[in-house]
Amino acid sequence: MLRLLIILIVVFIFAIPLGLPAMLLLWLVGLISPAAQADWALSYLRVLTAIVIFLSGVRLTVYGKENIPQKGACLFVGNHRSFYDIFIQLQLIRRTCGIVSKMEWGKFPILNVFMKFIHCTFLDRKSLRSGLAVNKKVEEELRAGNAYWIYPEGTRGHLNGLLPFHEGSFRSAFSTESPIVPVTFVHTDDIFEKHLPFVKAADVTVVFGKPVPTKGLSRQEHKAVSAAVREEIEKTYFQYA
C-alpha cells in the first residue's frame, strides 16, 4: 500500500505543482511549433512514467525492438492487460505517437492536456459518434505520416488470453495503407490489477512483431489481416505467459 501511496504522490506532483506551469509553457511553444510542443510533452510524460515504472518495481524485457518503425505512418496494435500498458508504451516508443484512450483517461487534470499535446484522443465506448470521430482523427494522423496506437479489445482483459477485437479497429490502417505493428504485453496485470489496491514488483515482457503491410489489399484480405494480427498477438501472449 505504501508503494501505491508514493506513486500517487509522484503523479500528483507531476500533474499539479509541476504540470501546470509546464502546460502553460508548452501551450506557448505550440503557438510557434506544434512539433516541438509534442516532443516536449512526450519527454515530460516519459519522465513521469519512467519514475512510476521504477517505483513499481517493474522488470522489463522487450523483444523485437528492431520492428519499431522510427519514421513514417504506422498503427501499433496491442493487447490490453493493465493501466501500465500505456506507461510502458511511452517508454518504448521514442517518437510522438498518439493513443486511442478510453474517456476516463481524459478526466485526469493537466495530464490529459499533455496527452492531447502528443495527439492522443479519448473514446467514449458508448457513443457511435465518438467512435467515428476517433477513427477520423487516427486516419488524419496516419495520412500525415505519424504513428498511432490502439487497443482493439476496447478495455483491459482479465481473462487468460485476449478479448475479441472490435470490428473496424484496423479501418484507419487499411484506408491509409499504413503498416500494422502487432504488440504483445505479458504480465502487466501482475503489477496492479490482480491484487488491487496493492502495487507489486513484476517481470513484464513486451514483444513487437514485424510490421504487416496493408498496401493494395482487397476487403476480403482486410478481414484476413485483422484475424492474423489478433492470432499473432494471442499466440505470442501464450508463448511468454
**Hey, where are the domains in the chain?**
2-240
What would the grid cell of residue 27 be?
501551450
User: What are the pLDDT tens digits along the chain (241 aa)?
Assistant: 889 999 999 999 999 999 999 999 999 999 999 999 999 999 999 999 999 999 999 999 999 999 999 999 999 999 999 999 999 999 999 898 999 998 888 888 899 999 999 999 998 877 778 888 999 999 999 999 999 999 999 877 666 788 899 878 899 999 999 999 999 999 999 999 999 899 999 999 999 999 999 999 888 899 999 999 999 999 999 999 9
Task: Give the list of residues 6+ apart from residue 32 with CB closer than 8 angstroms, or none.
Answer: none
Q: Residue 158's pLDDT is what?
A: 67
The pLDDT assigned to 154 comes to 80
**C-alpha–C-alpha distance, residues 4 and 121, integer Å:** 27
Output the nine-digit C-alpha cell for 36. 516541438
**pTM of the predicted model as reported, rounded to 2 decimal places:** 0.94
Cα angle 86, 91, 92; round to 5 = 95
| Inter-residue contact 111 to 14 (CB < 8 Å) | yes
Give the model's pLDDT for residue 67.
97
DSSP bridge partners of 182 = 77
User: Is domain 2-240 given the CATH code 3.40.1130.10 in the classification?
Assistant: yes
The Cα–Cα gap between 19 and 12 comes to: 9
Read off the pLDDT of residues 212-241 as tens digits, 9 standing for 90 and up.
999 998 888 999 999 999 999 999 999 999
- Parallel, antiparallel, or unpaired: how do β-strands 180-186 and 202-208 relate? antiparallel
pLDDT tens, residue by residue, 78-111: 999 999 999 999 999 989 899 999 888 888 889 9
